Structure formats: structure tokens, C-alpha cells
A = this chain, B = another copy of it.
Amino acid sequence: MKNTFGTSVAVTLFGESHGAMIGAVLDGMAPGVEVDEDFIARQLTLRRPYGAISTGRVEPDRFEIVSGVFEGRTTGTPLTILIPNTDTRSRDYAPLRALARPGHADYTAWAKYHGFADYRGGGHFSGRLTLPIVAAGVVAKKMIGYKVSAELVEVGGVSREDALASYREEALPDGGIEEKDTPGASEIWKDVLDEAIREKDSVGGIVECRVTNVPAGLGEPFFDSVESLISHAIFAIPGVRGIEFGDGFRAAAMKGSEHNDPFDTADSSGLKLHSSVHPSKNGAGGVNGGITNGNPIVFRTAFKPTSSIGKAQETFNFATGEICTLQIPGRHDACIALRTPVIVEAMTAIVLADLTRML
């Protein structure tokens, strides 16, 4: 199926970074779901790079829904989101045509498409293609009604707790804590990010996603397990290196008596549950045997550091067949992970919409 994903609710992705536009078709929506275009627009801004001028590209991220919505609600027919590419300074990319940027898909695209792919700005492989996913995710989230919420828990190897402690110390040198502050990730990890920019380098990060108010019974035993479908969708986001559910990799070092979740009927755990029976600790991340158990679905996603950096790198030139040194000009996005929580939420919402309508 290549660029279409899903069974009952399916999303098809298309477009190149420097083509006329990019977009997605979201098929299988329930009819009658409210579509709030203002909210979509605000969600799209959350995907903006750290420091608006950092990537040297300022797109307004205008979008248009050209089908599947009528009088403000989904019709039930395919919903198509288009996002025009307006700031496509293609001339910048011509010298890069024959160069495989390390960490990018330039070389693999060349191997796969025999040199016919649009190479400008990453072409079809551009992270911009996650924009229509974010828009589609907003609609999917509205349909399912579960709360899907992702946030950064680590940037550049520094945990949220540590970064927050430093941030508050700096912001309030007298030691007072201003509880009302809800600083953004770029503020919390400002030191880490600024250092990366100074060094013409980049950093990665880890995003945690929690889905609450999910009913028990979604998902299938093996191939369409909740983890299978979510990981499938999450690895479609550029830059993902790993995913883990519940106790994740730590579970491999736990005893069974430690990792197993005794069942409980009280909601003393503070978890927002759909029914009163549930595993008590949620080490399984809300899923047993591929099927939701009523606990929140919890998973973490590791994002690599941005591939485009200012430092000189060795690479390969397709035209000459030689190894050469590449210094990517301009300023770069210091940390793509900052832009990803809203994408993780969108992918998750689309998968859950599919599972919800998949009998």
C-alpha cells in the first residue's frame, strides 16, 4: 500500500517539499464530526522549528480542506487537506542534486527511484509531509474523543525534570517557584539548544505519549495489535529511532513479579480509566495481548538529532562517484524533536480512529 495506511480509517500522503503542494487524504471518517479549522491552524504552528528563522524557510503553513467537509462537519467521504508550498527557493538545492547528505534519504531515494525523484529539499521525504498528518490528526482526535497527549521528556540527553529545575533556578534566582509558569520545551531546554546552535550541531529527544479514556477491547491479537499499528505509524515520522510501551526496555531487566500488573477495581491509581477494572501499575502501557485493557496507552518515541548540521561532513557524490566534504549552508533546525509531539499525537489519533471503527 506504500503511502496509504489504515483499514477502516486510512490516510494517504503525497507531495514533495518543493512541488506545488503537499497533502493527505483521510478516508473513513465518521460523518458529522466537527472540523475546527482555527484549531487545526494553531496545531500546525506547534510544528514550527525552534527559532522561526532557523531553517531559513518561513512557510505560513496555510492549509485548505478541499473535500469531505460540508457546513463545518465531516461528510463521511474522503477528507483532503492541501498545503501549498510557497517559499520554494529551488535554486538553493541544485548544487546538492548529486550529493548524499548524511542522515538524509538522498542516497536511498536515488537507489530506489533510479534518479527520477524530486531531490529539492528532500522531495517526498521532507519532514513537511507531517504537516497534513497533524491536520488529519486533529479531525481523528475529535472523532474518537479519547485524550491523546504527547510531550517531550528528554532533549539532548537532559531529562525534563533536570531541565525544568535548571530553568526555574535561572528564571527565579531567588529560589522562588512560580507555579503558574508553563514554559515551552524551547524555554525549558534553552541551554541545551543554544549550545547545539553555537556548535553548528544538533540534538535529539524523547517524546512520551499518553492516551486516556480509552475503552478496553481495541486492537487485535497479533498483526493488528495496538503496539503493531502505533509503532507502524510512529516509524513513518522522519527521524524516529525507537519506540517502547509501558515499562519498555526497562521491562527486559525486571522480574515478572515486578513487571506484571495485578488487577485492581479502584481508581486509586489516579489514572483516568474507562471502566473500573484495570491493571494497577500500567507497566504494559495499556495493552495486553495486543488489546487495550482500559488503562492509559503510554509509549515513548526516540528522535534522532537533526541530520542537517552546519559542521563539515564526509559524503558521496553520485555524479562523480567520489567521496567529498559537504558543508550544508544556512542555519539549521537545532532539534527536530521539539516539533514532534503534535505529530506523535496525530499519528496516534489516526491509528486509534482506525481501531475504533475496525470491528
Instruction: State the number of copies, please.
Output: 4
Given contacts A102-B262, A222-B3, A231-B228, whether A203 and B255 have CB atoms under 8 Å apart is yes
A263 touches B323 (CB 8 A): yes
A306 touches B249 (CB 8 A): no
Contact of A124 among B10, B77, B216, B223 (CB under 8 A): B77
B113 touches A31 (CB 8 A): yes
| Band of interface residues on A | 35 or more
A10 touches B19 (CB 8 A): no
Given contacts A76-B116, A240-B227, whether A27 and B2 have CB atoms under 8 Å apart is yes
Within 8 A of B (CB), among A151-181: 154, 156-157
Q: Is A190 engaged at the interface, CB distance under 8 Å to the other chain?
A: no
A38 to B162 Cα, complex, angstroms:
56
Interface 1/0s, chain A 16-34, versus B by CB < 8 A? 1001111101011011100
B222 touches A13 (CB 8 A): yes
Interface residues of chain A, those whose CB is within 8 Å of chain B, are 1-5, 7-8, 10-16, 19-23, 25, 27-28, 30-32, 64, 66-68, 70, 73-80, 82, 100, 102-105, 107-109, 111-114, 116-118, 123-125, 129, 154, 156-157, 196, 199, 201-206, 216-217, 219-225, 227-229, 231-233, 235-236, 238, 240-249, 251-265, 277, 279-280, 284-285, 287-294, 302-309, 311, 313-316, 321, 323, 337, 357-359
